Structure 1
Amino acid sequence: MSAGLLFHIDEPGRWPQLFANLRNARAADPDVSLQVVANVSAPVALWAMGRWRDECEVLARGGVDFAFCQNSLDALGLDSQTLPAGTRVVAAGVLALAQAQQRGWSYLKP
């Protein structure tokens, strides 16, 4: 059995699909572990206040582990001190993805 589902998002326009995937996975199996790694340009969509940021924070409160790549935040000029509530930063998104897969997480890309 896998450690859980590992979602990778690297495009800002993919957040609605990702959120739908997370809600559907949780509805099908409330105990499944869910992790999201956001890098490249995807984080920019959540640094503005609004529906997507709110949904991220709600899902994080519900146990979804959201990780944002520090390298991507730096490249986009985003301040890691203004993360969506309940989320975290990883040094390098690609490394976080590889390490999670080595630990048995199933990689998915919406």
Structure 2
Amino acid sequence: MNVNVVFHIDESAKWELMLKNASHLVQVADTPGSDIRIVANAEAVRELVPQSAGSALPAMQELAERGVHFAACNLSLNSFGIRPQELVPFAEVVPAGVLELALRQREGYAYIKP
């Protein structure tokens, strides 16, 4: 099953739930042509710093290895004083999380927010 999905995470407390949802989707929809993305903004960008990710880091790494794309909002990073080089190596920095979400939805991606 070919799917294009963008997960939106903006609350630190929701990372575990969101990662489980993404993992379940990858298990059933990991086919060529599928594109699964996770966009973090607001306080949720902090968990993309390895020292802050805690127990979520292994799940993030596994998803990244399976082709899930992680994006961090640059505006949120700036508001928390986080430099892009502090992020996990598989996270891409996008100018604004809300813009990334809007662009992906315009491209037909399904939007999921836990």
For the 8 Å contact 2:3–2:29, the answer to whether it is kept is no
1:60 to 51, 64, 70: 64
1:89 to 61, 79, 93: 93
Match of residue 78 from structure 1: 82
Match of residue 45 from structure 1: 47
- Number of paired residues? 110
For the 8 Å contact 1:69–1:93, the answer to whether it is kept is yes
Counterpart amino acid of residue 92 in structure 2 = R
Matched, 1:15 2:19: no
Q: TM-score, normalised by structure 2?
A: 0.88
Displacement of 1:77 in angstroms is 1.0
Displacement of 1:82 in angstroms is 1.5
Displacement of 1:66 in angstroms is 0.5
Q: Distance in 2 between matches of 1:103 and 1:52?
A: 29
Match of residue 6 from structure 1: 6
Displacement of 1:57 in angstroms is 2.2
Displacement of 1:44 in angstroms is 1.2
- Give percent identity, aligned residues only: 35
Counterpart amino acid of residue 69 in structure 1 = C
Displacement of 1:83 in angstroms is 1.3
Worse-superposed segment, 46-55 or 36-45: 46-55
Worse-superposed segment, 25-34 or 42-51: 42-51
Long gaps (5+) in structure 1? none
**1:3-48, CA deviations, whole angstroms, 9 ceiling, x for partnerless residues?**
6011000000111001100111011122232111100100112322
Q: Distance in 1 between matches of 2:101 and 2:6?
A: 8
Moved over 6 A (4+): none
Aligned-residue CA RMSD (Å): 1.8
Q: Which has the higher helix share?
A: 2
SS at 1:88's partner residue? Answer: strand
Match of residue 35 from structure 2: 33
